[in-house]
Amino acid sequence: MKILMVLTSHDRLGDTGEKTGFWLEEFAAPYYVFTDAGAQVTVASPKGGQPPIDPKSDDPANQTPAQDRFKADANTQAVLANTKRLDSVSADEFDAVFYPGGHGPLWDLAEDPASIRLIETFYESGKPVAAVCHAPGVLRHVKHEGEPLVKGKRVTGFTNSEEEAVKLTKVVPFLVEDELKRLGGKYEKAGDWQSFAIVDGRLVTGQNPASSEATAEALLKLLR
């Protein structure tokens, strides 16, 4: 099994002067779910190299077992520091693609032509596409047979109420829940901060950071 993970290169939280990036748990937990199952994982980002970690995801209050493992794992740290440029990878080389969230993807990956093409190629080749938390927002311009990929599909992603809880509804370029509904997705959610993942055909989506492991496991199940 060969899995591509795609991380954001965007590190500015709108006009707040604060930093953002990808959410560390949403990379670390799925990465270990995949590698522990024997998958070969390649990590890419629009700019390549070290992608920005959202500093809030590394707060002492937000630590998880997967993050603790990552911090003691020089090999995985090296993988993360040397991501491939997204426009240099091909869907042909992989069996599935997984997008971790964090706020960063709403600015770069959601609009990135290389990312949009890549997802469309994976999906049209019959390969699974997975995204967790804010990352389902990267599907906003992705089409399948001329329609939005998410149209008519059961999907989830970071909820409006979760975005309100972190006080960023007026900062983000769009709200994931609203956008998935606008595109015709059959949006579902669990309680705020609860683990929740949905599989609809080849599309796997997870609601929030707590859903990162469940989303990764659902993708593995499809590949098996």
Nearest residue to 30 via CA among 224, 186, 219 = 219
Distance, in Å, from the CA atom of 72 to the CA atom of 92, rounded to the nearest integer, reads 33
What span, in angstroms and rounded, lies between the C-alpha atoms of 73 and 188? Answer: 36
Q: How far apart are CA 49 and CA 197, in angstroms?
A: 29
| Spatial separation of the C-alpha atoms in residues 35 and 194, rounded to whole Å | 25
Say whether 133 is catalytic. yes
Catalytic residue among 25, 103, 134, 177: 134
- Catalytic one among 133, 177, 179, 213? 133
Q: Among the options 163, 177, 179, 213, which is catalytic?
A: 163
The answer to whether 25 is a known catalytic residue is no
- Whether 163 is a known active-site residue: answer yes
Give catalytic residues, as residue numbers: 133-134, 163
